[in-house]
Amino acid sequence: MKDSAKPVSQSSSENPPGPIPPERHPERPEVPKDADGVGRTSGEAAEALPELAGHPVDLQAIEEAVRTILRAVGEDPDREGLRETPRRVARMYAELFKGLRSDPRRHLQKVFTERYDEVVLVKDISFESTCEHHLMPFMGKAHIAYLPGGKVVGLSKLARVVEDIARRPQVQERMTESIADLLVEELQVRGVAVVVEAIHTCMTVRGVRKPGSICVTSAMRGAFRNNPSTRAEVMTLIFGNHK
């Protein structure tokens, strides 16, 4: 059944008449041709995490690396409390980075013809990702808006795109642009706006240690980039009238 939602706002009459061309290609994770890949997923991990079955994650190499780190910081990886830690960490990384083996384009292949040509906005899509600088989590919410060009996509598919793209090591800026560029490439849209708000644990529990700090990034394409009133409209829809 097709996802549906009420229109959230009218679009500006100054919007361009047709779909916008892609500005760039988003990062496309390589989907393995060989189900076994170059690594092997242990039977135990595959049983605990069925979605990892067949993914080329070298769990044994991760476990060995974790043991090395524990020894390097002065711990004994063989003591009771740490004995299972390398295995747990290996499974954790396989889960956190499963987006490296997923192609988010698959969520946008089914579209529906609609005459609706005003703003479609999905707010507060929660996500968790990993900062590539320290391999520490950052988490928050994404807001996605687009101006259809005759086609719409199921609303849940936008959330699935965020989930796939979030599950990999990256910086927030690239994550934001990857979502926007993917929508431009795969959908016949006249404009795309992506805004991401996130808390970075690399800022809250280490380094500068500023709890409560929030990083906001945006990527505007088409009408949202070229038309100030259209951009202002969608930002008001996302954040309200807060200055």
CATH number of the domain that residue 190 is part of: 3.30.1130.10
Mean pLDDT of 209-216: 90
Q: What is residue 211's predicted lDDT score, i.e. its pLDDT? A: 87
Of residues 33 and 151, more confidently modeled = 151
Question: With 70 as the cut, is the pLDDT of residue 7 above it?
Answer: no
Question: With 50 as the cut, is the pLDDT of residue 221 above it?
Answer: yes
Give me the CATH number covering residue 76.
Answer: 1.10.286.10
Of residues 241 and 68, more confidently modeled = 68
Q: Is residue 224 part of a domain?
A: yes
Question: With 50 as the cut, is the pLDDT of residue 93 above it?
Answer: yes
Q: Which 8-state DSSP code applies to residue 34?
A: S
Which position has the token pair 């990993």? 130
Mean pLDDT of 45-72: 76
Percent of the chain with pLDDT over 70: 77
Q: Is residue 24 part of a domain?
A: no
Please enumerate in sequence order all residues whose Cβ is within 8 A of that of 203, keeping only pairs 6 or more positions apart, or say none. Answer: 209, 210, 213
Q: What is residue 54's predicted lDDT score, i.e. its pLDDT? A: 52
Q: How far apart are alpha carbons 67 and 45 in whole angstroms?
A: 18
Same domain, 91 and 131: no
* CA neighbor of 179 nearest in space, from 191, 159, 162, 196: 162
Q: Is residue 22 part of a domain?
A: no
82 and 75 Cβ atoms separated by less than 8 Å = yes
Confidence category of residue 212, pLDDT binned at 50, 70, 90: confident
Q: Is residue 216 part of a domain?
A: yes
For the chain, the domain total comes to 2
Q: Which 8-state DSSP code applies to residue 81?
A: G
Of residues 28 and 90, more confidently modeled = 90
Same domain, 54 and 140: no
Residue type, 120: V
Q: How far apart are alpha carbons 231 and 239 in whole angstroms?
A: 12
pTM of the model: 0.78
Is residue 193 within a helix (H) or strand (E), and if so which, with residue range?
Answer: strand 189-200
42 and 60 Cβ atoms separated by less than 8 Å = yes
Structure tokens at 47: 């049983």
Question: With 50 as the cut, is the pLDDT of residue 97 above it?
Answer: yes
Q: What is residue 18's predicted lDDT score, i.e. its pLDDT? A: 65
Question: With 70 as the cut, is the pLDDT of residue 21 above it?
Answer: no
Mean per-residue pLDDT of the chain:
84
Secondary structure class of 155 (helix, strand, coil): helix
Question: With 50 as the cut, is the pLDDT of residue 188 above it?
Answer: yes
E-assigned strand segments in 73-135? 111-113, 120-131
Q: How far apart are alpha carbons 119 and 222 in whole angstroms?
A: 13
* CA neighbor of 193 nearest in space, from 161, 229, 223, 162: 223
Residues that are catalytic: 131-134, 172, 200, 202
Same domain, 59 and 87: yes
* CA neighbor of 37 nearest in space, from 94, 89, 86, 84: 94
Confidence category of residue 182, pLDDT binned at 50, 70, 90: very high
Give Cα 67 distance to the centre of its chain. Answer: 30
What are the CA-CA distances from residue 53 to residues 44, 70, 123, 141 (Å)?
A: 10, 28, 32, 29
From 11-20, 59-68, 84-93, 216-225, the region with the lowest mean pLDDT: 11-20
Which of 53, 80, 99 lies at the terminal end of a domain, its last residue? Answer: 99
* CA neighbor of 120 nearest in space, from 97, 149, 92: 149
Same domain, 129 and 211: yes
